[in-house]
Amino acid sequence: MSEQKAKVSKTKLGNFFEDFYLGMQIEHTTPRTVTAGDQALYTALYGSRFALSSSDEFARSLGLEKSPVDDCLAFHIVFGKTVPDISLNAIANLGYAEGILGAPLYPGDTVTTTSEVIGVKENSNGKTGVVYVRSTGRNQRNEEVLQYVRWVMVRKKTVDSPAPETVVPDLDKAVPANKFSLPENFDLSAFDDKLSGSPYRWSDYEVGEKIIHVDGMTIEEAEHQMATRLYQNTAKVHFNNHTESKGRFGARLIYGGHIISLARSLSFNGMENAVKIAAINGGTHVAPTFAGDTIYAWSEVLEKINLPDRNDLGALRVRLVATKNNNCESMPFKQEDGSYHPDVVLDFDYTVLMPK
């Protein structure tokens, strides 16, 4: 019997750079109902200790119905929906901007995600291009849970396909306070420092202050694999060691969001009362990480923000920097020539809410 060639006509190969166009609307598949199990696994992976996402009673004392899932978990779930359509053929996720956290995401809520292409730019090598997308996650009540922009470098399927007209969106360097979306009835007047783990509140932090978060976490191969599956992130570079062992790094890459969550969890030691993320202003995955690397982090307060008519809380704009195999005692960041220190893997600019 002659061999029959396997058919791949029904399988999806993902979008390549030339498949994207300005204004393209994408409704991502597989709605996701969030469970308490998701939050438990997230805690097991990163050890997050922020009280708001750990205790129903603490959350109720601040006006919420119960404990929402960690803000970073909400980000990962929304992000994961986009991967098969946006970054399945990506080389690298390059950055974030204009991220706004909206309605709290609770166990039992169902999330769907849509995206719009807002920019395209072919790279000079003619083999890849950068795609800019604005993605929005909504719950079953059509309330916005998260909106953010990211840009990603994607392979071309056909090198000689014509380059599109270059459009690079003009993005805010930071989300202004009037765009923050605070949860309804959220009130930090009854905030309990003993339960949260620190007496330091908004007024105790100063612009320019840098905090070394001391602790470190080593990335295990099984953990980052489990994390990426938890978010239904299908990117090949995180899973397939058969192909990635032959690539330029010779190993699977750690999902960049995994580093964000590690750094955010590490930041608890020194910023325990930064209970909620209000905005993601920008972010860069500076260098790759691999299983076996140990992640450390430090924070710099960039701005203190008074919110109109809010005497119970304020906002801090913070730069969160993660390093690999460097305990941050010298807080490496930029070198004399302006380039990043080789141990820096994440430069993340975000805004957190903190009791006054």
- How far is residue 297's CA from residue 315's CA, in Å, rounded to a whole number? 20
With the C-alpha atoms ordered 196, 198, 204, 205, is the resulting torsion angle positive or negative?
Answer: negative
Give the β-pairing of 128-138 and 144-155. Answer: antiparallel
74-104 pLDDT, tens per residue? 999 999 999 999 988 888 888 999 999 999 9
Residue 237 is predicted with a pLDDT of 79
114-157 pLDDT, tens per residue? 999 999 999 999 999 999 999 999 999 999 999 999 999 999 99
The identity of residue 138, as a single letter, is R
Q: Give the pLDDT mean for 189-200.
A: 97
222-235 pLDDT, tens per residue? 998 899 999 998 88
- Residue 8 pLDDT level (bands cut at 50, 70, 90): low
- Residue 332 pLDDT level (bands cut at 50, 70, 90): confident
| Residue predicted with more confidence, 38 or 238 | 38
Check pLDDT > 60 for residue 2. no
Task: Please give the torsion angle defined by the CA atoms of residues 98, 307, 321 and 130, in that order, rounded to the nearest 10 degrees.
Answer: 10
Check pLDDT > 70 for residue 6. no
Q: Among residues 107, 48, 97, 36, which one has the least CA distance to residue 72?
A: 48
Domains of the chain: 13-157 (3.10.129.10), 199-219+254-356 (3.10.129.10)
Residue 1 is predicted with a pLDDT of 45
The identity of residue 306, as a single letter, is N
- Residue 13 pLDDT level (bands cut at 50, 70, 90): confident
* Residue position matching structure tokens 């205790």: 55
Segment (H or E) for 286: none
Q: Give the pLDDT mean for 171-199.
A: 96
Q: pTM for the full model?
A: 0.93
- Average pLDDT taken over every residue of the chain: 93
Q: Among residues 59, 43, 42, which one has the least CA distance to residue 51?
A: 59
Q: Give the pLDDT mean for 184-210.
A: 97
Check pLDDT > 70 for residue 4. no
The distance of Cα 272 from the centroid of its chain, to the nearest Å, equals: 19
Of 47-61, 62-76, 335-349, the one with minimum mean pLDDT is: 335-349
- Residue 7 pLDDT level (bands cut at 50, 70, 90): low
| Residue predicted with more confidence, 241 or 232 | 232
Residue 246 is predicted with a pLDDT of 82
Of 41-50, 89-98, 199-208, 309-318, the one with minimum mean pLDDT is: 89-98
Residue 89 is predicted with a pLDDT of 85
Task: Please give the torsion angle defined by the CA atoms of residues 35, 39, 45 and 51, in that order, rounded to the nearest 10 degrees.
Answer: 180
Residue 242 is predicted with a pLDDT of 85
**238, 228 Cβ separation under 8 angstroms:** yes
